C-alpha cells in the first residue's frame, strides 16, 4: 500500500502541515505531536479526495526499549487514536 498525503486541519501548529502516512489514523498520531496535552482532537483531510477524518488521540507514559541498528532506543509514550467519525 502506498503512502497518502493528509493536510492537518486542527490543531494548527504554526502553519500548514502535511503528513504522509498509509492511513488517516497514522497521520493523526503524527499530528498529535504538536499538541501538548494528554488527549487531543485531531482533524486531518485527505488531499486527493478532500474527505475529512476526526480522531481523539491520547498518549500515555509507557516506556519501551527497542534495539535498532545495535543501539538502544527508548520510546517514552504509547499513542492511540480513536475515530470520531459517524
Provide the number of structural domains found in the chain. Answer: 1
Predicted confidence pLDDT, tens digits, the chain (86 residues)? 678 899 988 876 555 688 899 999 999 898 887 777 788 888 899 999 999 999 999 989 999 999 999 999 999 989 999 999 87
pLDDT at 51: 93
pLDDT at 18: 87
Asked if residue 47 has a cis previous peptide bond (ω within 30° of 0), the answer is: no
Range of the domain at 59: 4-83
Strands (E), 17-70: 17-21, 39-46, 52-68
Amino acid at each position: 500500500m502506498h503512502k497518502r498525503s493528509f493536510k492537518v486541519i486542527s490543531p494548527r501548529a504554526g502553519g500548514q502541515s502535511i503528513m504522509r502516512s498509509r492511513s488517516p489514523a497514522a497521520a493523526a498520531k503524527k499530528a498529535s505531536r504538536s499538541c501538548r496535552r494528554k488527549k487531543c482532537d485531531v482533524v486531518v483531510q485527505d488531499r486527493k479526495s478532500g474527505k475529512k477524518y476526526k480522531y481523539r488521540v491520547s498518549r500515555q507514559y509507557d516506556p519501551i526499549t527497542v534495539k535498532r541498528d545495535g543501539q538502544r532506543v527508548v520510546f517514552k509514550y504509547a499513542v492511540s487514536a480513536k475515530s470520531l467519525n459517524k
